[in-house]
Structure 1
Amino acid sequence: MKIRDFMITDVISVTESTTIKELLKILVANKIGGVPVVGDNGDLIGVISDGDVIRYVKPQGRTVYDMFSLVLVAEQEDFQDKLTYCLDFQVSKIMRTKDIITVNESQRLEEALNIFSKHRIKKIPVIDENKKLIGVVSRGDILRYVYNQIINKTP
């Protein structure tokens, strides 16, 4: 069984100039937890997830600095203030661009299963030989495919 047999080809993606506000709207409207980030020619340049956004907008805690008995205190940021402040930032500010795990459509199902198991990620971008995004595979896609093709035996 190859990845092409169950990958999603109608991929929802964003560009690096998409704002965090636009990204949140896309994630919520489509009930998804992350998207690939593509360049002008459709090549994969990064990924961004709901977890990346949450980690970024998380308010910073109170910090006490003791510099030779001069104590400086940084008060905790308010969540609403931090969120409002960064809604217009572009996703390029927080997207991941390094160590992105990808697959190609001719790889076997078992390879995707190994990746999901080893790296504990939810989605894997599928790219062609030119690094152009052609699909995405999620854990749910694999479970649906296994259920429909093997357990339920429906096409």
Structure 2
Amino acid sequence: MGIKSFQGARKQQQNTTEVNAFKVSDFMSRDLITFKPEQSVDEVIESLIKNKISGGPVVNSKNELVGIISEGDCLKDISESRYHNLPMEQHTVETRMVKNVETIDGNMNVFDAANKFLQSRIRRFPIVENGKLVGQISQKDILKAALQLKGQNWK
């Protein structure tokens, strides 16, 4: 008597190269609102409100990423200024921005990027190529990618 296999018929493997073709660079925002280190925190607050964004990359004159500033950084500035009874006008982006910025590779597939978002709890990642800021991917961008993928692959 031969050995019988109790393993059922295997499902056809999805074409993973199709899925992997969905790269971060295909879904990242390229038209970014950026800030300069010498700008005032007041200017940042006005821009965040006007543009309905929660933060943005900080670049130098060569468009090199030097930091990131968020609503939270601005709130901290307001809180400390009030606590110490100091005027806010003199505070610059450079004094409030996060300088050690984690970036993401534009060639990474969107599923790996989704995992990176979950592990880091960061809301946005800048994308840098050859030292220059070229884009930014947000959690919302990944959700948009997932909807597109769902229409093509998840049946």
TM-score by length of 2: 0.77
Write the letter of the residue equivalent to 1:132: K
Give the match's secondary structure for 1:136. Answer: strand
Distance 1:90 1:59, change over 3 A: closer
Unaligned runs of 5+ in 1: 61-75
Write the letter of the residue equivalent to 1:17: E
CA contact (8 A) 2:110 2:145 kept: no
| 2:152 counterpart of 1:150 | no
CA contact (8 A) 1:124 1:137 kept: yes
How far off is 1:55 after superposition? Answer: 2.0
1:92 is matched with: 94
Give the match's secondary structure for 2:83. Answer: coil
Unaligned runs of 5+ in 2: 1-21
CA contact (8 A) 1:103 1:124 kept: yes
2:48 is matched with: 27
Q: Which has the larger radius of gyration?
A: 2
Aligned residue pairs, count? 131
CA contact (8 A) 2:59 2:66 kept: yes
TM-score by length of 1: 0.77
1:127 is matched with: 128
How far off is 1:152 after superposition? Answer: 5.1
Q: Name the one with the larger strand percent.
A: 1
Over the matched positions of the two proteins, sequence identity in percent amounts to: 30
Matches within 5 A, 1:1-155: 1-59=22-80, 77=83, 85-98=87-100, 100-128=101-129, 130-147=130-147, 149-151=148-150
